[in-house]
Chain A
Amino acid sequence: MAATTKRNTLIAIIGAFVLLACAPQGEESVPRTSLTLDEVTVGELQEMMQAGDLSSVQLVDYYIDRIAQLDPQLNSILEINPTFTRSHGPSMRNVSAARFDRRSTAYRYC
């Protein structure tokens, strides 16, 4: 039992490294707005906007870029408001139209 668990853990660790190595690198994976808004709250966003450090257009672009990057594997979004997708091309009007291979296991989206 213990040996099996250990082996499974090792396989999981190796798997995680392989996935990290396969993570997309370079320009394509960097959101266009180059903002970092992890764990940001509504209050902080409001402060940034009031201080002139962030516009609503930048914010929407940031999230649309993240959706384009990640959601093909998550399937959490049915539709982006088309009002905001003109600059992102017709393919973004219905995200679910573009599907990646979702069978792989990954740990890097949350």
Chain B
Amino acid sequence: MKDNIDTADNMHTTAGSLALLDAPTPAEDAFLVRRLRAAGAIILGKTNLSEWANFRSTSSSSGWSGRGGQTHDPCLLDRSPCGSSSSSGSGVAVAANLTVLAVGTETDGSVVCPAAFNGIVGIKPSLGLVSRSGIIPIAFSGQNSATQL
């Protein structure tokens, strides 16, 4: 699960930022987490991302967060896991077979780009099809949850 998606268990939800490391645990799971758990999914962990889902700068480093450091392309460790996107940890975790499915979020390419760079499939549902409640937003206009597999 990308680290900007609320989990109300004993994991952190920080959007990769050290500023939220001591923040209270979210009161409830994000909508999509609730649905996944109800369907029998096991939430194995939280994935690295571009901190605050790329909100730091228009030219920030993809897949870098203060908390997790730089995410590396599993095919070529010194290359970017994607040119312009934030769900890099989710894409890399699936590509390296560290999990069978990962959830990312996308406003503009944050799921489909790391999926393409890592040789996996990224699905971006139509905006609003999956509720965004419980996802740390970068913009109220567009961020979308999506699955990588």
- Are A67 and B98 in contact, with the CB atoms below 8 A? yes
- Are A60 and B74 in contact, with the CB atoms below 8 A? no
- Taking CB atoms, residues of chain B closer than 8 Å to A38 are 97
Q: Which residues of A67-89 are within 8 A (CB) of B?
A: 67, 70-71, 73-84
- Taking CB atoms, residues of chain B closer than 8 Å to A2 are none
- Are A96 and B88 in contact, with the CB atoms below 8 A? no
- Are B43 and A75 in contact, with the CB atoms below 8 A? no
Number of interface residues of A (CB under 8 A): 38
Majority SS at the chain A contact face:
mixed
A-binding residues in B (CB < 8 A): 3, 9-12, 14, 16, 42-48, 63, 65, 67-78, 81, 88-90, 92-93, 95-101, 118-119, 149
- Are B89 and A76 in contact, with the CB atoms below 8 A? yes
- Taking CB atoms, residues of chain B closer than 8 Å to A60 are 42, 44
Q: How many angstroms from the CA of A42 to the CA of B79 in the assembled complex?
A: 29
Ordered by A's residue number, 23 sampled pairs between the chains whose C-beta atoms are within 8 Å are A39-B97, A59-B42, A63-B98, A63-B99, A74-B93, A74-B96, A75-B69, A76-B47, A76-B88, A76-B89, A77-B89, A78-B14, A78-B47, A78-B89, A79-B3, A80-B45, A83-B9, A83-B10, A84-B44, A106-B76, A109-B95, A110-B75, A110-B95
- Are B11 and A81 in contact, with the CB atoms below 8 A? yes
- Taking CB atoms, residues of chain B closer than 8 Å to A84 are 42, 44
- Are B11 and A66 in contact, with the CB atoms below 8 A? no
Whether A34 is near chain B, meaning CB under 8 Å from some CB there, is no
Whether A13 is near chain B, meaning CB under 8 Å from some CB there, is no
CB nearest neighbor in B for A46:
B40
- Taking CB atoms, residues of chain B closer than 8 Å to A81 are 9-11, 42-45
CB nearest neighbor in B for A77:
B45
- Taking CB atoms, residues of chain A closer than 8 Å to B95 are 109-110
Q: How many angstroms from the CA of A64 to the CA of B11 in the assembled complex?
A: 15
- Taking CB atoms, residues of chain A closer than 8 Å to B81 are 76
- Taking CB atoms, residues of chain B closer than 8 Å to A80 are 44-45
